[in-house]
Amino acid sequence: MTKLASIDVGTNSVLLLIAEIDPQGKITPLHDEARITRLGEGFGKDKILKPEAMERTFEVLKRYVDLARSYKVSEIRAVGTSALRDAENREVFLNRVKSELGLSIEVISGEREAWLTYRACVLAFPKLTGKTLMLDIGGGSTEFIFGDREHLEQMVSLNIGSVRATEMFLHSDPIGEEEFQSLHHYLQDKIRPVLNPYKKNLSHLIGVAGTVTTLAAMDLEMIPYNPSIIHGFRLTRGRLDQLLDKMKKMTLVERKKLPGLDPGRADVIVAGGLILKVVLEETELEEVIVSDWGIRHGLLESKI
């Protein structure tokens, strides 16, 4: 048995997985955790990571590294995605993490991010057949992965995520209908060209990462979060529409009280849900299969 840890440093959250991997490649999680640090908060057009955002993320990484080492893992593999890809001052953060924690964070391309998501989905749903779209809605970007169990056909990464979309369009509290519709149209214009070549041939949509797992937990009114129930849950387009209609009429304070919704995600969940809504509309699929597995699992497989 090999014991490894993987860390996914995203725009909105930081995820840790500590697991054992047997010689056949089976992953047995020992510890799985996610913390919202909002590294990309206020990122804006200047593409500068804010000091307070870097500090929040650093403190979570310090805890993760200490925890991983307490499990006596043979290696910690860490990657950074959208915010770190685009940040002008990313070296300030990366150098501090390396110097003080001894952790090297590999800043990966959108294509590499998509590949890791693809491998995680193949591992997570071994019995799923047919052409599949794997969707990873992040804070700063969204990855679209088309393929089946045997082949990855196409990977597309768009600089549209729940945090960026919120900061661009949703400024009122509660969210104004004009703002909501403007974001809806913007997302349609960006996403439709990606999906058009594939939508008639897709059998399944798998949703990865915090936006989709949170929406599933909200549909179930789940407290506390239970990954074994969320993983494989099927969220229908009708239920998603009901959740969005409810949330956009609520204030931020009211949304924070909704069962299944982490308060730290309450301000960006509507934008994230709208991205999923557009994907379901454009693919003409009626449901999304929810995956609790993601980049951190793909990273572990790549180290076998």
Number of domains in the chain: 2
What is d(CA 103, CA 168) in angstroms, rounded to the nearest whole number?
A: 33
Over residues 156-183, mean pLDDT: 93
Given 48, 78, 108, the domain boundary residue is 108
pLDDT of residue 37: 94
Tokens of 1: 């048995």
Per-residue DSSP letters for 47-82? T---HHHHHHHHHHHHHHHHHHHHTT-SEEEEEE-H
pLDDT of residue 304: 45
Residues 96, 254 contacting (CB under 8 angstroms): no
* Mean per-residue pLDDT, 195-210: 90
User: Quick check: is 280 in a domain?
Assistant: yes
| Domain boundary residue, one of 108, 131, 149 | 108
Say how many C-beta atoms besides its own lie within 10 A of residue 262's C-beta: 17
146: which residues sit within 8 A by CB, 6+ positions away? Answer: 131, 132, 133, 134, 152, 153, 154, 155, 198, 202
Residue 258 above 60 pLDDT? Answer: yes
Q: Are residues 162 and 96 in the same domain?
A: no
CATH number of the domain within which 222 lies: 3.30.420.150
Q: In what order do the strands lie in the sheet with 27-36?
A: 27-36, 13-21, 2-9, 75-80, 105-107
Helix (H) or strand (E) holding 167: helix 162-169
Q: Do 135 and 270 lie in a common domain? A: yes
**Percent of the chain at pLDDT exceeding 70:** 98
| 158 plus 285 within the same structural domain | yes
Average pLDDT, rounded, for the chain: 92
> Are 42 and 127 in the same domain?
no
- Of the candidates 108, 161, 129, the one whose C-alpha atom is nearest the C-alpha of residue 121 is 129
- Give a yes or no: residue 202 inside a domain: yes
Q: Is residue 301 part of a domain?
A: no
Does residue 18 or residue 113 have the better pLDDT?
18
Query: pTM (2 decimals)?
Result: 0.84
